[in-house]
Amino acid sequence: MKNPKKIITVIGARPQIIKASAISRAIQTTFPEQLQEVIVHTGQHYDENMSALFFEELHIPQPGYNLNIGSGLHGAQTGKMLEGLEQIFIAERPDAVIVYGDTNSTIAGALAAVKLHIPVVHIEAGLRSFNKSMPEEINRIACDHMSTLLFTPTRTGLENLEKEGFSVEGTGPGSADNPAVYQCGDIMYDNSLYFSTISDERSSVLTDLNLKPGDFVLCTIHRDANTDHAEKLGSIFEALLEIQQLSGKKIVLPLHPRTKGKLNEVKEETLQRIRENASIVMTDPVGFLDVIALEKNASMIITDSGGLQKEAYFFRKPCIILRPQTEWVEIVENGNALLADADKTKIVAAYNRLIQKDDFTFPAFYGDGRAAFFICEKLVNDLK
């Protein structure tokens, strides 16, 4: 029998750890003879509830390596990752390196691999905000152009790649000079379907936070464009206060550590009103099974997270996007979500519009829940 192909999966930030569970599960259940996975954690996220928690609850194999890089300025953080990853790739000699999304761990993994002539597999390729002030936009464009196999979740992603000169015929095997592009659906749709019933069985978050189904709005904030400008963060909180008052619903905010660290920069008067309002429930970050329970039972989701925007769609909830634009354009074009930036007036107006809307539709923009199997099949067949 042929040796399995050795794949190194690079992860670092919370959403990548969650995404990686879909591929690890597909390898374990369907491709254990053909694919061998070594997980490398850069250590970009390191708090228990931003990292370790997910390995346990999502049954992700423990990383073979953890670089423990931690937080830092973009250059320093990415540079340290690059150096550490290069050593591991040289020692392990993988047949390919998988990177996810658009974080500093993504760009470091792709750059270290391509310079060693190791094929880069980019999962979540082709997404664009057309806003290069976002660090993620730089990371994803650069990563796509270093990749050998590009897996895009959406039709829009495929079109974006075609406009940048990629051939999108979907023919392997591909090389760095002649990459192969596939539209395969979203592995996070796979995960949301898979973990939905497990969340129903295991999550106690509604009881723990004393929440009733339909009686709360879920909100997350972590983009640097919002957290690093006190007036923008303040404007979002002012909007949440107004929505709480006009709706009477609770607002549940699992706070990203970045946001928690910036809270005290918000105007004291706003902070005081938030603290005094018992219906604004701030918590530490929660696990994926808990976040699914919150998403399924919220009346609406307000977020600047890429992941939450789509999960709102998967669980058929309206969404207010706290950004000027999104890479997940289909949910806005289809009327499931509204862009409101960090503008109090727009956020409140979006709430009022979405709460009255009763003709939502949910076309299958994100595939059939089998993206991870599709990707693994291509890895088996396309990699030399």
Q: Which is nearer to ligand UDP, 260 or 370 (CB)?
A: 260
Q: Is 14 in the site for ligand UDP (CB under 6 A)?
A: yes
Structure tokens at 222: 């972590």
Cα separation, 162 vs 63, whole angstroms: 35
Residue 41 beta carbon to ligand UDP: minimum distance, rounded to whole angstroms:
16
Q: Which of 7, 291, 300, 331 is in the footprint of ligand UDP by CB under 6 A?
A: 291
Cα separation, 166 vs 147, whole angstroms: 11
Note whether 125 and 158 are within 8 A (CB): no
Cα separation, 174 vs 122, whole angstroms: 13
DSSP state of 8: E
Strand partners for 37: 7
**Which span sits near ligand UDP by CB under 6 A: 126-134, 272-280, 287-295, 352-360?**
287-295
Q: Is 139 in the site for ligand UDP (CB under 6 A)?
A: no
Q: Is 129 in the site for ligand UD1 (CB under 6 A)?
A: no
Q: Is residue 360 helix, strand or coil?
A: coil
Q: Which of 124, 186, 311, 382 is in the footprint of ligand UDP by CB under 6 A?
A: 311
Q: Is 222 in the site for ligand UDP (CB under 6 A)?
A: yes
303 Cβ contact list (under 8 Å, min separation 6): 218, 219, 220, 221, 309, 312, 319, 320, 321, 322
Q: Edge to edge, what strands does the sheet with 250-254 contain?
A: 280-283, 250-254, 216-220, 300-303, 319-321, 337-339
Selection from ligand UD1, ligand UDP, none that 291 binds (CB < 5 to 8 A by kind) is ligand UDP
Cα separation, 37 vs 103, whole angstroms: 21
Residue 71 beta carbon to ligand UDP: minimum distance, rounded to whole angstroms:
14
Q: Is 307 in the site for ligand UDP (CB under 6 A)?
A: yes
Q: Is 296 in the site for ligand UD1 (CB under 6 A)?
A: no
Cis upstream peptide for 173 (omega within 30°): yes
Residue 301 beta carbon to ligand UD1: minimum distance, rounded to whole angstroms:
16
Lay out the site mask for ligand UDP across 242-281 (x = CB under 6 A, - = otherwise): ------------x---------------------------
Q: Is 222 a catalytic residue?
A: yes
Q: Is 179 in the site for ligand UDP (CB under 6 A)?
A: no
Q: Which of 41, 145, 222, 256 is catalytic?
A: 222
**Which span sits near ligand UD1 by CB under 6 A: 32-40, 85-93, 211-219, 253-261?**
253-261
Q: Which of 105, 20, 99 is nearest to 62 (CA)?
A: 20
State CA 79 to chain mean position distance: 22
Count of residues that interact with ligand UDP, criterion CB under 6 A: 16
Residue 377 beta carbon to ligand UD1: minimum distance, rounded to whole angstroms:
28
Residue 362 beta carbon to ligand UD1: minimum distance, rounded to whole angstroms:
24
Question: Which residue's entry shows tokens 């750890």?
Answer: 17
Cα separation, 238 vs 242, whole angstroms: 6
Q: Is residue 34 helix, strand or coil?
A: coil
Structure tokens at 66: 């953890």
Q: Which residues bind ligand UD1 (CB under 6 A)?
A: 13-15, 44-47, 50, 71, 102-104, 135-136, 222, 257-258, 261
Q: Which residues bind ligand UDP (CB under 6 A)?
A: 14-15, 18, 220, 222, 254, 285-288, 291, 305-308, 311
Which residues are annotated as catalytic?
A: 222
